[in-house]
Amino acid sequence: MGKIAFVFSGQGSQYPGMGKTIREASEVAKAVFRVSEDKRPGTTAQCFEGTKEELALTVNTQPCLYTVDLAIAEAVKESGIVPDAVAGFSLGEVAALTFSGVMSREEGFELVIQRGRLMNDAAQANPGAMAAVMRLTPEQVTDLAGEFDVWPVNYNSPLQTVVAGTENRMPDFLAAVKAQKGMAVPLKVSGAFHSPCMAPASEGLKEALKSVTYDRGWCPVYANATAKPYPQDPKEAKELTALQVKSPVQWQKTIETMVEEGFTTFIEVGAGKTLTGLIQKIAPQVTAIHIENAEDLEKEELHELRK
């Protein structure tokens, strides 16, 4: 049997009611929610009862989604499935680092609170926009973006690349995509995430990370910025975590690297199934499963992995 990876959902996959049945079904998931609630009262209510608009605010999205991602991952592990490595998409990388033991649940939660605030502040100071580009290769998108104040920021799959840029230049870029027979969909986000516009947030995270204890963890964590496992040196690892918010998410390259290194099963833990869909496009030969509620824990594919 090949290796198993957990992949943690990123911002944009959140929805009202996420994580509720997992919390009810798993003691370890309850413990994750308890830490978040102790540190930030109202987090549980936001996950279960918050409106779509409330959850879309970066300062709410990040602590809520981190909690749900981590709770689901712990519940899957509790059920008898232990991954050989993990990776997380953007925000999901902090949950992956916490799950792997690089930092404690308390430290991870406090970090995402600060991460959400810093990214929101940077977005307010440097207004930007984002769009998902389809039907063009990553190379085509990169070349086209270079003609505008636009940067590729999420290399999601062979035919989907997300870009970020200044609000005044994005319309021209979208028109250029259409002229090249591509399709671009503007995203409802509050800033140009994973672009140079997030430089202030990156600097703020460097400062915040000084008080976080980074351990080696019990399994490798593949990094968004490098598509390679996190370095074991704590100083280098912290630098990479801070760099991540202003660097492109190399998701396609990450999955391709993991497949080359023997991973054949990817379990998406968190809200929605965006990553499952991307993995199926990147590496259709592997098994991709999403787990987001208590019922999903009973999927037949998981029973096979527990044998």
Q: How many CB atoms lie within 10 A of CB 5?
A: 28
Q: Does residue 90 have an active-site annotation?
A: yes
Q: Report the alpha-carbon distance of residue 298 to residue 76 in Å, rounded.
A: 10
Looking up tokens 């986000």, which residue turns up? Answer: 189
| 137, 196, 237, 296 from 102: Cα distances, Å | 35, 27, 9, 27
Q: Report the alpha-carbon distance of residue 106 to residue 75 in Å, rounded.
A: 18
Check 90, 157, 202, 247 and give the catalytic one.
90
Check 26, 194, 195, 247 and give the catalytic one.
194
Looking up tokens 């390259």, which residue turns up? Answer: 253
Q: Does residue 194 have an active-site annotation?
A: yes
**In the beta sheet, which residues pair with residue 164?**
130, 151
What totals of helices (H) and strands (E) does the chain contain, helices first?
14, 9
Closest CA to 209 of 227, 228, 234: 234
**Which residues are catalytically annotated?**
90, 194
